[in-house]
Amino acid sequence: MKRIFSTAAAVMAAAFMISCGPQDMKVSITNDSELDRQAETVELDFGNIVAAHPEITAENVVVMNAAGAQVPSQVYTEDYGMVKLIFQAAVPAGATVDYTVKAGEREAYDTLVFSRYVPERLDDYAYENNRIAGRVYGPALEDPRTLGPDIWLKRVESLVVDKRYELNDYHHDHGDGMDCYKVANTLGGGALAPYADDKIVLGDNYETYTRICNGPIRSKVLFTYKPFDVDGRQTTLKREFIIDANTDFIKISNWYNAPVDELPVVLGAVLHDVLSRTDGDYYIAFTEKASDSADPDADGDISVGLVVDAAEEGVEADTMDGHAVLKYSITPGKRADVWIGSGWSKGGVESPEAWAQTVKDFAYAQANPLKVTVK
């Protein structure tokens, strides 16, 4: 039996053609890979849909699967103005599955993703979906100063961020998980950062944020950063966090600018008490004991995954400054996509070996995207 795999890789529609019917259009999704794909996010240009079907609006658009059941969908506007329709598809290995987009009555969907600015906790920006949670640090926090995110562990599928901040006691497990992960001045649970002379430049906390959308199946936020010094050169950064439902991974798109032709970078995560590590061509998976805990054995094991875009060249797994890293070079001004993942032995990760397979499969899926055709 093929392994069922969940990911949130985005796939753009290749072509739009006139629909056979006046009120619907067919979306064919082909999976040429050897993995079944479950709950994988598909992106469509909503402007093209409306141009072909003016009766469809953001308020009445529905997506139906082949069995005629409505699946959750979301319409949102990107910061650069493009309007997107997204939904999550299930496509067996080697198969093509059809979905229908039409005007209708939208059902009430569960909100599975959420993110927000947290002014009550020194400008944190917190995010979560039904499987993972975390936060990045803001300008008001004096220490740590880093690009690295904090990992919040979950054992439930309900949303927990607001509850934890309200209790102000998220370092203890109240039945839904906890924060027992130590970031300090490191890259924490995973970030793309420059390096020079074999030293990682940690960057700084975010300066500004813009939330682009917030559920029910995607939350997206844009962060900007103050310029910082990399090997004597002023370097700037903006990056987008995309958190989709039903996945253990977050997509981070990075735009670095510096007065160089190539910028050496690492996608890295800090190492604590490591129990297992697997290095692949474009990924690293490792599992370690809870790092910010008075009782690591009781608080379980934390798993971390790092995945680099398979289109990048010269990617090399290594260890640097106490971090597991994937080293390569990027072109300043060009978008660089990476993915970071996390899991917990008390929240569904059965073993370090199972986690390593999850990360390997995710990297494979990113290198073999679904093919989408709209008719």
Q: What is the pTM of this model?
A: 0.94
Other CB atoms within 10 A of residue 320 CB:
15
The answer on pLDDT for 24 being more than 90 is: no
Q: Residue 330 is encoded by which pair of tokens?
A: 């990027």
Other CB atoms within 10 A of residue 68 CB:
7
Length, in residues, of the chain: 375
pLDDT interval class at 23 (50, 70, 90) = low
Residue 153 φ then ψ, to 5°: -90, 145
pLDDT tens digits along 110-145: 999 999 999 999 999 999 999 999 999 999 999 999
CB hemisphere CA count around 131 (13 angstroms): 20
CATH match for 113-344 among 2.60.120, 2.60.40, 2.70.98, 3.40.190: 2.70.98
CATH classification of 4-105+369-374 is 3.40.1160.10, yes or no? Answer: no
Q: What gap in Å lies between CA 105 and CA 197, rounded to an integer?
A: 59
Tell me what the mean pLDDT of segment 348-364 comes to: 98
Q: What gap in Å lies between CA 266 and CA 325, rounded to an integer?
A: 6
pLDDT tens digits along 188-247: 999 999 999 999 999 999 999 999 999 999 999 999 999 999 999 999 999 999 999 999
pLDDT interval class at 337 (50, 70, 90) = very high
pLDDT tens digits along 287-300: 999 999 999 999 99
Nearest to 13 by CA among 97, 85, 71: 85
pLDDT at 22: 55
Other CB atoms within 10 A of residue 278 CB:
18
The answer on pLDDT for 346 being more than 50 is: yes
pLDDT at 7: 39
- The SS3 call for residue 120 is helix
pLDDT interval class at 371 (50, 70, 90) = very high
Q: What gap in Å lies between CA 39 and CA 88, rounded to an integer?
A: 5
* Residue owning tokens 């009430």: 108
Q: What gap in Å lies between CA 27 and CA 44, rounded to an integer?
A: 9
DSSP E strands in 11-78: the ranges are: 24-30, 36-45, 61-64, 70-71, 73-77
Tell me what the mean pLDDT of segment 339-346 comes to: 98
Q: Give the bridge partners for 12, in sequence order.
A: 43
Element holding 165 (H helix, E strand): helix 161-167
Q: 4-105+369-374 and 113-344 share one CATH topology? A: no
The answer on pLDDT for 84 being more than 90 is: yes
pLDDT interval class at 6 (50, 70, 90) = very low
- The SS3 call for residue 213 is strand
pLDDT at 4: 37
pLDDT at 375: 82
pLDDT at 1: 33
- From residue 340, how far is each of 101, 132, 292 by CA, in Å? 31, 11, 20
pLDDT tens digits along 130-183: 999 999 999 999 999 999 999 999 999 999 999 999 999 999 999 999 999 999
Residue 108 φ then ψ, to 5°: -80, 125
Which of 19-23, 149-153, 249-253, 325-329 is least confident? Answer: 19-23
The ranges assigned to domains in the chain are: 4-105+369-374, 113-344
- Round the average pLDDT of the chain to a whole number and report it: 93
Q: Residue 55 is encoded by which pair of tokens?
A: 């009766």
The answer on pLDDT for 314 being more than 50 is: yes
pLDDT at 18: 34
Whether residue 10 contacts residue 42, with contact meaning beta carbons closer than 8 Å, is answered with yes
Nearest to 34 by CA among 360, 373, 372: 360
Q: Give the bridge partners for 193, in sequence order.
A: 266
Residue with the bigger pLDDT between 1 and 186: it is 186
Tell me what the mean pLDDT of segment 106-112 comes to: 96
